[in-house]
Chain A
Amino acid sequence: MELHILEHSLKVASIEKEGIEICTHGLIKLAFLASKTRCKFFSLTETPEDYTIIVDEEGFKELPQSNLISVADSTWLALNVVSGGGNASSSQPIGVTKIAKSVIAPLADHNISVFMLSTYQTDFILVRERDLPMVMHTLSSEFTLFRVVNGETVAAHNLGISNGFVKPKLGMPRPIIHPLSSPSNMFCVTSLDPDTLPSVATLLMDVMFYSVGFPNNVLFTSASGELWKMVRIGGQPLGFDECGIVAQISEPLATADIPAYYISTFKFDHALVPEENIQSVIRALRTESTAQ
């Protein structure tokens, strides 16, 4: 397995619901006019609480200064797992579950806070830039590490730095600390051809800023047409320093072989699980919390 450390220096910010107006110009530019900015990484997540933006430093300049926007103080780097060697196993778990044991759990064990962003194509694991030497140290045994520099992938070497935080918790289940909730609405995870972006731009703008639903036939849906349910993690805003939250959720799901998307936002974390599996998810997670 290969772990690619992407070159984007990312900022995580939150825009209050009422602050979206002042950011509209910048957001439209980032989302639809990629050639007008030097931004290479942009993510916008809307939750009932706020808008979470993950954007690289170039893109961050497009956003105005305002007290309606709060920014997490550290710079984040995105990690991406690639099955480089081609040792394709026939049955692979989907998404976070796949990397739960190999990435999430070891990072949690070494007290490194992660911020997850699952997309249709891949999962990004965001770590603080200052934690990078530790991350590399932790994951070098399991992965071949590559760093992307100016678009070229080059081998990265572990610097042998350790924070001495070794917690071998063999066999010990990780207790779930935060309260979970699962709203009744369902989610569809999809993607679209970048070439068709101009033709759906007005629709997307509606969705982004006016919260209208998509008409039926615009987006690609997967052949199986699956739908997803959400599990929200946290009753109070989680903050950025606590580690092990992703691991708490993803490990039981991985054990139960349930595919999942995991999206962190400024305040809470969200896991998307297949709707037909929601009962087994609740079961699995409940066991974990009661085990506490």
Chain B
Amino acid sequence: MSGSKPDILWSPHHPNRYVICDSELGLYSIGPVGSTETKPGTLSLSEETAATLLAINSDTPYMKCVAWYPKHEPECLLAVGQANGRVVLTSLGQNHNSTCKELVGKEFVPKHARQCNTLAWNPVDSNLLAAGLDKHRADFSVLIWDISSKFAPETSVAAEKIRLSSVDLDSSTVVTKPLYELGQNDACLSLCWLLRDTKLLLAGMHRNLAIFDLRNTSQKTFVNTKAIQGVTVDPHFPDRVASFFEGQVAIWDLRKFEKPVLTLTEQPKPLTKVAWCPTRTGLLATLTRDSNIIRLYDMQHTPTPIGDETEPTIIERSVQPCDSQIGSFAWHPSSQNRMVVVSAANRVMTDFTVFERISLAWSSTASLMWACGRHLYSCVEDEAEGTDGAAEKDIATKMRERAQSRYGHDTVQVWRNHLLAGGISHMKQCSEDAELKLQGNKQFAVYSGIKNIVKTSSGTTESRRCWSGSDRQTDVTRFQSDERCLALRLCGWISRGPDIDVETFLRSLEQEREWERAAAIALFNLDIRRAIQILSKGAVTEKGDLNLNVVAMALSGYTDEKSSLWREMCSSLRLQLKNPYLCVMFAFLTSEPGAYDGVLYESKVAVRDRVAFACMFLSDAQLPRYIDKLTAEMKEAGNLEGILLTGLTKDGVDLMESYVDRTGDVQTASFCMLKGSPGDVLKDPRVQCWIENYRNLLDAWRFWHKRAEFDILRGKLDPSSKPLAQVFVSCNFCGKSISYSCSAMPHQGRGFSQYGVSGSPTKSKVTSCPGCRKPLPRCALCLMNMGTPVSSCSGTGKSDEKMDLTRENKLAQFNNWFTWCHNCRHGGHAGHMLSWFRDHTECPVSACACKCMQLDTTGNLVPADSS
């Protein structure tokens, strides 16, 4: 302390009192801001708390260290160690306490004066006060005083010699004979009583840490080390002790005292204080000189499955309770992770709570859970009301729902239906894309995307067509080639076959009441009359927009004269149209030939419509440039519509990657990539990663059947992913595989199905090995040889099984299979085993004590998707 460096001590029993000591002692009371606001002299410690100065004691000059009496009564009794080695008992604001009076003012004086470095009050035997002093050539440095002792009779003798002493000693309050004297010829820098035995005192001596046992003072345990300052016992682990030296903290285990179990990373400046958090296990706070940061070390022993002793995980953190340099800090004795910090300079205090680290875990469903301190929070997605208006659901919920509704399996029709019902626009795009891919199944070019298709385009013909229904020549050039035609088909504008008419497509759009889109497409096909007709049809239908009539009217006024009022007005007013299709219609009509940026870069218009438009009206030079640009844009945005352009190529994987990065939707990614799947795309590690993650996700949801279905689908589409057979059944006697021996002997006319594996009940069963004719093992329950069919009602007589006949049939096939415990090797018919382990955990074989069921970690789980 020595005047400049303050220290802070919490009252051991009053959770709202603490003492600051620098040149004097100040007792403070801490409380919420509101309650102490009215009193003068209140110091704000934080937003919520404030401190009030209760008492000041400046009776003890040359303070070096302070210790607070550990028992309830008398409260506020402090021991002060002084620069000349005297220990004085004093108190704060306790004038009328009689028990205290006797003790206050008592002095404990060492034989030879030198600095008192540290004080430690025995927490149990609270009469014992240990003082650690500097070295003297002929004296001890650890003195244990009995505060209740009356002055020793020798004091009178000693008093005779007092001549040079400037302090007048009142012999009635001076004790000069310590109860114990320990640590000869060595300085003591820090002390603490050990919690595991109150007779043990740990002392940081000059070059070693020593444990003194008061029951036998001639013995001590010691270890040579430099880390001897600030010894302190972890209140949660009585065997764990921290000490420090300069910038390094050493953690000791008293059971293995030879060397530190841990040394923490060295800090550039010397440490001044190290303290274990009393309210949280394994949390150590350290403070270095001239710093405004408190560094925390969170030491947690994590159990390892092997049971080997491992180093604890240490998480290092820094906290900055205030801006000024910290003089000292003290943990609150009971309030969790709370401390009061006092600044080095002018006693500015801060009440501070160390925020606990948050550990967070996502569940495989959409809920989220996190722990902070002693609290556990969980966040569950609102069970959405099912309306489309509600906020978009979490992707995990969506994927789960989709998985349940057989998303991605079977035919495109299933996909479409589902997706239309789901109403998710980009997914619809994707599905339609997939549909087209199926249509173009014979032409592999389709998979490579429009981007690659138009690149190979050749033999483009230019034509200028008339507006249909009019003989007026347009100045619009239209380009045509086989590739462009294919692209148009992929965009859905024209259907298969030689027919390049869009009429069918327009009809279908009319049916879906997409009037604006239909009109725009009609217009792009230079059929202005049809466009007007569509719009007016849209206006008259139920719930139609009457404004469409106005648009139709405006459209009918079209003139190709460059400087007409119509043109001028349309090109400026079109921007106010809300519907993007109406907007691009006027953009098309008012733009110069070959410069259709108003259409091409209208991002609200569906990509396939823009691409189709580009295929019709952009030249061979312009088209690839536009497509490239659009592709890059789509990739950047992770927009699935872009799949149309990229196809299922590397580019497509890039796009999908961007999409997955944004949404986490590995489900869509997996299915898309599986569907198209030229081999090298499927081998892309990203694709494999999505597929594996999707499978893991299904497993985590316990959608095992869905996962199996997915694997089957995957095996169909990507034969290389089929796993090899992993289990073979071989005969105990001849060692030959039973299934192989069957297939190897076709002349015997027995297929594998005959051994009960396929479970066809009509076929005769074989109960012996086809190789050596020895019997197959018996089922542990029915004692029949394997291969014998299982009667469906054996073992269990449960009525509910009969109710679900289809399920019963499926299970009946499985009931005949072999199954056995991997540990004890006992087993039998799968059906029997299932019913046995429904009620038992141990092996059905009477002499076997194997707890088969407990070894099976997933055996008790029920699939979540069983239907």
Contact = CB atoms under 8 A, between A and B. Distances in A.
Contact of B135 (A94, A98, A122, A216): A122
Nearest to B218: A87
A141 interface: no
Interface string B85-126: 100000000000000000000000111111100000000000
Interface of A: 81-88, 92-95, 98, 118-123, 151-153, 188, 190-191, 193, 195-196, 216-217, 220-227, 259
Contacts of A224: 111, 158, 161-162
The SS class assigned to the B binding surface is loop
The SS class assigned to the A binding surface is loop
B226 A152 contact: yes
Counting from the closest, the 10 A-B pairs by CB-CB distance are A220-B113, A94-B138, A86-B220, A217-B166, A225-B164, A83-B184, A121-B135, A222-B112, A224-B161, A122-B137
Contacts of B212: 86
A120 B111 contact: no
A120 B137 contact: yes
10 contacts: A86-B212, A88-B184, A88-B218, A119-B137, A120-B114, A151-B226, A153-B224, A222-B112, A225-B161, A259-B138
B846 to A, nearest CB: 66
B178 to A, nearest CB: 12
A222 B185 contact: no
Contact of B114 (A86, A92, A191): A191
Interface of B: 2, 83-85, 109-115, 134-138, 140, 158, 161-166, 176, 181-187, 207, 210, 212, 217-220, 222, 224, 226
A83 B224 CA distance: 14
Given A94-B137, A220-B85, A259-B138, 13 more contacts: A82-B186, A86-B220, A88-B218, A92-B138, A92-B184, A93-B138, A121-B135, A122-B135, A188-B164, A191-B113, A193-B115, A217-B166, A224-B161
A193 to B, nearest CB: 5
A190 B164 CA distance: 11
B207 A153 contact: yes
Contacts of A226: 161
A149 B405 CA distance: 77
A85 B186 CA distance: 12
B163 A225 contact: yes
A95 B136 CA distance: 10
Contact of A81 (B185, B187, B217): B185
A100 to B, nearest CB: 13
A92 B111 CA distance: 13
A86 B138 CA distance: 14
Nearest to B110: A223
Contacts of A118: 137
B163 to A, nearest CB: 5
B713 to A, nearest CB: 70
A225 B83 contact: no
Contact of A216 (B83, B166, B220): B166
Nearest to B221: A86
Contacts of B222: 84, 86
Nearest to B181: A88
A118 B136 CA distance: 11
A259 B166 CA distance: 25
B676 to A, nearest CB: 70
Contacts of B158: 223-224
A116 B162 CA distance: 29
B742 to A, nearest CB: 78
Contact of B164 (A82, A87, A94, A221): A221
Nearest to A90: B181
Contact of B182 (A86, A151, A222): A86
Nearest to B137: A122
Nearest to A96: B137
A122 B185 contact: yes
B113 A222 contact: yes
B132 to A, nearest CB: 15
Contact of B138 (A98, A188, A193, A217): A98
A92 B554 CA distance: 119
Counting chain A CB atoms within 10 Å of each CB, the highest count among B138, B140, B166, B184 belongs to B138
A259 B226 CA distance: 32
Contacts of A123: 137
B165 A221 contact: yes
Contact of A223 (B111, B186, B217, B218): B111
Nearest to B113: A220
A122 B136 CA distance: 6
A88 B217 contact: yes
A221 B164 CA distance: 7
Nearest to B183: A86
B349 to A, nearest CB: 24
Nearest to A222: B112
Contacts of B84: 220
A16 to B, nearest CB: 31
A227 to B, nearest CB: 7
A269 B469 CA distance: 134
A81 to B, nearest CB: 7
Contacts of A190: 113
Contacts of B220: 85-86
A153 to B, nearest CB: 5
Contacts of B137: 94-95, 118-123
A143 to B, nearest CB: 13
A189 to B, nearest CB: 9
B135 A88 contact: no
Nearest to A93: B138
Nearest to A217: B166
Nearest to A220: B113
A193 B111 CA distance: 17
A223 B165 contact: yes
Nearest to B115: A193
A220 B140 contact: no
B218 A86 contact: yes
Contacts of B185: 81-83, 122
Contacts of A222: 111-113
Nearest to A226: B161
B709 to A, nearest CB: 69
A195 B3 CA distance: 11
A87 B164 CA distance: 33
Contacts of A220: 83-85, 113-114
B483 to A, nearest CB: 81
Nearest to A148: B207
A219 to B, nearest CB: 9
Counting chain A CB atoms within 10 Å of each CB, the highest count among B112, B163, B184 belongs to B112
A83 B135 CA distance: 12
Contacts of A83: 184-186
A220 B165 CA distance: 8
A263 to B, nearest CB: 13
B164 A227 contact: yes
A227 B163 CA distance: 9
Nearest to B166: A217
A193 B140 contact: no
B836 to A, nearest CB: 68
A223 B2 contact: no
B210 A86 contact: yes
Nearest to B162: A225
Contacts of B186: 82-83
B219 A86 contact: yes
Contacts of B164: 188, 216, 221, 225, 227
A121 B134 CA distance: 8
A86 to B, nearest CB: 4
Nearest to B111: A223
Counting chain B CB atoms within 10 Å of each CB, the highest count among A121, A195, A216, A227 belongs to A121
A152 B110 CA distance: 30
